[in-house]
Amino acid sequence: MGEINIKIGEKSYQLEKGDCLLNLIKKNLPNAKFSIVAAKENGNTIELITPIESDLNIQWISSSSEEGIRILRHSTSHIMATAVKKIFGETKVAIGPSTDDGFYYDFDSNTRFNEEDFMKIEAEMQKIIDADIPFVKTFINRKEAIEKFKKDGELYKVELIEEITDDKVSLYDNGDFTDLCRGPHIPSTGYIKAFKLLKIAGAYWRGDEKNKMLQRIYGTAFADNKSLKAYLTMIEEAKERDHRKIGKEMNLFGFYQEGPGFPFWKPNGMILYNTILDYWRKLHTDEGYQEVKTPIILNEELWHRSGHWDHYKENMYFTEIDKEAYAVKPMNCPGGLLIYRDGVHSYRELPLKIAELGLVHRHEKSGVLHGLFRVRQFTQDDAHIYCTEEQVKTEVKKVINLVQKIYNDFGFKDVHLELSTRPANSVGSDEIWEVAEKALAETLQELDLVYKLNPGDGAFYGPKIDFHIKDAIGRSWQCGTIQCDFSMPERFDISYIGADGQKHRPVMLHRAILGSIERFIGILIENFKGKFPFWLAPEQIRLLPISKNHVEYAKEIKNLLQNFNFRVKIDETEDKLGGKIKQARLDRVCYLGIIGDNELSKKTLTVRKADKEENKEVALDELSEFFNEIKNSKI
C-alpha cells in the first residue's frame, strides 16, 4: 500500500497508507495512549481511528485540553445513553451533546428517572468503559438511516435525519447502541477515566414548549479523578453560593408565578441595585458619556430597519397600538440611533458617547429561566460611541481601560478576552467587515492583550470583543462586550459633517460592561457569597447596644453616620451581645459597632468586621473618616 509521512512538531513518523493514528501511537508513543484523544490539522479534527490516506502535519489533542475534554464528554454522553437503554429498555433517545462543563442526554421514557437511578446507570456505564468497546463510525444512505431508526422506534432520530439534506449520514456504533452523530469521538470507551452523573431536569424536545417534555440527565467527565473531584467540590460550593437562596435570605429579590422570569426587587435589593447604578453613572459622567433614555415599545418598522426582525424576532414581544404593530425592545441600539439622527452633527463632536441604562425584554423559554441569570426583563448598561474610522482604535482602548477599572473595583482581577468574527447570518459588505475586524484585532495587539479568537461568533452587524471574568470559585462569566458596527449607521443613514463640509458616515461602537445589571448582581451575590464589600453592602454597619442604657447613644451614632450617607441599623432586641453578633453574621452585615459603658463614657465606638474577632476603638469624631477610607478602598 505504501508509506505516508506524519509530521508532529519537529518529529516525523511513517505510517502505512490506510492505517490510523491510533496504531501510530501504540507503536511509537505507548505511554501516551489514553492521554491523546484525537489530532488536528489546519483546524480540522481527525479521529484516531480514521484511515489516513496522505501525508499529514498534525498536532495532538490531549485528553486534558479544552477540545479534548469536550470529545471525552461527548463520548461519555453516548456511553450514558447506552447504559440507560440497557437498563430501561423502552426508553427512546433524543440528543446528547457536550457542554462547557459536562454533557447531557435527553430521554423519552415511561420510567420517571430520579437521582437514585444514578448508581445503577453509573455502574452500567463503568461496565461499558471497562469493556473498552470501540466507537465505530459508518456512513449510510439517508433513506436507509430513516428506515433503520423507524424500525428501532427512535422517532426523534428520524425527525432529525429527515431535516438533513446530505445523501449520507454518519452513525456511531458503541456496542449495542447506535447513534446519529457527526463526532468526533474517542477510539474506545476505555479512554473515559473519570465521570459523574449530576442531576435530572425536564427539557422540551427541541426547546419548543409545544413539544413533549423529555427527561434530561446531566453529567460530567474529566481526564482524571483529581480534576473531577475538584469540579465536584466546586459544584458543592456553588450550591452554598446560589444567588437564589442567598437573595431570599438577605431579602434582595423574589420571583412570583404572576410574573415568571420578571424579578421583583425588595428594599435591600434596591439598595444594592442603586448603589451599582450610582457608581456606574458617576464613572461614565467622568468619562464623558451623556445619558439618555429611550422608550420600551417602538414601532415594528424600526426593527425591520435595524435588522433585529430578521435575526431576533423569536425572542421579542409584540403588541398593537392604533391598529399598528409595535414591539417591546430587546435591545437599545435602534432607539439610540433615532436620537443621534435627530440633529446635525459635526466632526468636532466626535467621538460622541451616549449611554443608556435601558430596560429590555426578551422572550426566554420557561425551561431556561434561572434566577437572575436568565430572565425576561433586565437592564443593560448600554453605550454607543459614534466616531470616525480613524478614532475607532483609540476609543476601543478607552473602553477596554474602563472595563478593566470597573471589574477591578468589583473585585474581579482575572479577566480574559475573546475576539469574535463575522457570523454566517451577518449583514454588510465584505469590505466593512474586514475593516472592523482588523481594527479590533490591531487594538488588542497594540495593548499587548492575550485573547482567544472565535471565528464566526460575532454579532450579525459587526465583530466583537467579549470580556470574561472569573469568580471566587473559578467559574467564568461573560459580561462585557465591545462591538464595531459599520452596518447600522448605513441602515439608519446617520452622518456627521466633516472638516471638508461634506457628509460622512460615523462608525458606531456598541458596548456594555456589566451586561445585564440583574445577571451581574447574581454573579456578585455568588462571588461574595452574600458578604459584599463595604461599599456595596445593603447594610454596612449594625450597631449593637449591650443594654437598653446604650440605645440612645446608638441612635446618636446612627444619625451621625447616616448624615455621611452610610447604611446603618440598630439591633434593639433584648438578645445578649453574642446572639446579636450571630444574627448580624447570618444577615451578612459588613461591620459591627459595639456599644457598652466604656464606649458611652469615652464617646467612642468599638468596631469589628462581622466575620472577624479583632476590635478597634474609634472616636466619635473620627468615625466618618474611618468608614470613608474603607468605602473608598472598594474592599
Catalytic residues: 333, 362, 380, 382, 384, 464, 510
**Strand locations in 42-102 (E):** 44-47, 56-62, 92-93
Query: What are 402's three cell numbers?
Result: 474602563
CA distance 585 to 304: 53
CA distance 496 to 502: 8
CA distance 73 to 185: 9
- Cβ contacts of 623 within 8 Å, gap of 6 or more: 557, 560, 561, 605
Q: Is the peptide bond before 351 cis (omega within 30 degrees of 0)?
A: yes
Q: Exposure of 535 by Cβ count < 10 A (0-12 exposed, 13-18 middle, 19+ buried)? A: middle
**Alpha carbon 199 to chain centroid, angstroms:** 20
The secondary structure element, H or E, covering residue 631 is helix 623-632
Q: Is the peptide bond before 506 cis (omega within 30 degrees of 0)?
A: no
User: What's the maximum distance between 2 C-alpha atoms anywhere in the chain?
Assistant: 99
DSSP per position, 86-148 = HHSTT-EE----B-SS-EEEEEE-SS---GGGHHHHHHHHHHHHHTTPBPEEEEEEHHHHHHH
- Cβ contacts of 607 within 8 Å, gap of 6 or more: 591, 592, 593, 594, 615, 616, 617, 618, 626
**Helices assigned H by DSSP within 345-480:** 392-409, 430-446
- Cβ contacts of 146 within 8 Å, gap of 6 or more: 158, 161, 162
